[in-house]
Every structure is written in structure tokens, then in C-alpha cells.
Amino acid sequence: MNNLVMSLVERVEKCNKLLQIALDFIDINPAISIASSVERKENLILEAGTPLIKSYGINSVKILRSFNGNHLVFADLKIMDVGALEANLAFSNGADAVSVSALTNLETIKETVEEANKWGGAVYGDLIGVDNIEQGIKKLKDAKVHVALLHIGIDVQVKLGLTAGKALDLIKKMKESFGGIIAVAGGIKPEEVSSIASAGADIIIIGGGITKAKDPSYATNLAIKNLNSKC
């Protein structure tokens, strides 16, 4: 974790809304290119996506941390076991936050949270694949995760045509039920940021809507403008 910046939870309190760019590449070079092209301000989180970490290793987190700026770094590990060990791996290499799967056992989620707290870091409880969102949120609350993540996966987007932009009512219900920080991911376009933020999302995660744009920097700036962040 970067001790020169405030924690993710504190950053949300200060800025109200944050934008997270999911760098879901299998090659580090385009991830570096995107990270280099955007303005790395307080309201931005750079995500080392799961494919990037699997292909390039935890060093991808260290590289995103090395960029100058006031951005935060998120490691999308989707932890399923040995929560403390994997969380330590992420935080010791510069991550400010890490993800744990809400599908795993409560003990692993708690271990991940406990390790994050030692570093002043944050844990996203990723609800991807969870059929009963209400029960999933209860588990995340019991484990005291810092962020509940509504995550509509790419396969579901492609096969079913479902995206986060079409789940505004669910976002509202999640915000009411969890009562804490809500992150939302899943096919979000920069133009949809305002409505998703208004529905209750505190952290809005965009992957292809920025990384596949003709001008990623412009797409990022548009998303941040629609975010209406205080930072």
C-alpha cells in the first residue's frame, strides 16, 4: 500500500465518488499505456485486472503503484482461500485495495479483511456469480468488508445482454441493504456514469468503455465529469 495517500475509505469520504479503470489485459504494455495517458488524480483508481495479474503476476500491481500521481491501486485477486496470505501479497506490492470472492467461506473473507486492516487497506467483496444478492450482502456485512461490489461479468454481458447500466434498481437496493461503500462494474459506458452514481454507486468501475475507446484519456475525462466527484 502507498502510505503517502489516504486510505480508499477515507478517499471515498473526501471525494464522494471515485472512478476505477479496470486494466483487464493479458499484456502489461497496453496497461502501462492506458495508465500513462490518464490524469492520475485523487478520484481515480487503477485496477490490475485478474487477467493481467494471472499473466504478468503481482508485479503488475507494483508497476501501477510506481506511476506518479494521487491515484489508488486495486488488485483484482478475487481471493477464494488463504485470504491473509494473498492480501499480504497485494498490499506489500503497493495495492490500496484487493478483492475477495463473496462465494468463498466466511472465514476466508474475514482473514482477508483482518490482513487489509493491518495495512490500512480495503477489501471489495465481489458478488460476481452470487445468485442471492441479499444473502451475499449479509455475508459481506458479517465479515465487515469495506466495499460491496456488484459485478456483472463479461460472459453474462455477452450471453444475456445484461449490464450494470440496466441494474439501477438493484444498485439502489444494495446501497440500502449494505449501508456502506458500493462499487459497481459490468459493461459501463462513460455516458452512464451519472445515472449509476445517482443510484447509489460510490465507486464506478469501467473497463472496455475506457480501454477500448479510440481516445482512452477523453473517455476517462468524460466519465470523471459525469461522476460529479468532489475531488
* 78-89 pLDDT, tens digit each: 999 999 999 999
Position of cell 462465494? 103
The whole-angstrom separation of Cα 218 and Cα 58 is: 29
Number of residues that make up the chain: 231
pLDDT of residue 1: 52
pLDDT at 12 over 90: yes
Alpha helices in the chain, H assignment, sequence order = 8-15, 28-37, 50-56, 59-66, 83-91, 106-119, 133-143, 154-160, 168-178, 193-198, 208-211, 216-227
Q: Which structural domains are found in the chain, ordered by start?
A: 8-227 (3.20.20.70)
Residue type, 66: S
Q: Can you say whether residue 159 is alpha, beta or left, with left for phi > 0 and alpha for psi between -120 and 50 degrees?
A: alpha
The predicted-structure confidence for 132-153, as pLDDT tens digits, reads as follows 999 999 999 999 999 999 988 6
Q: Determine contact, residues 210/21, Cβ cutoff 8 Å.
A: yes
The predicted-structure confidence for 102-111, as pLDDT tens digits, reads as follows 999 999 999 9
pLDDT of residue 30: 95
Q: Can you say whether residue 184 is alpha, beta or left, with left for phi > 0 and alpha for psi between -120 and 50 degrees?
A: beta
pLDDT at 55 over 70: yes
The predicted-structure confidence for 162-203, as pLDDT tens digits, reads as follows 777 778 998 999 999 999 999 999 889 999 999 999 999 999
Q: What is the pTM of this model?
A: 0.93
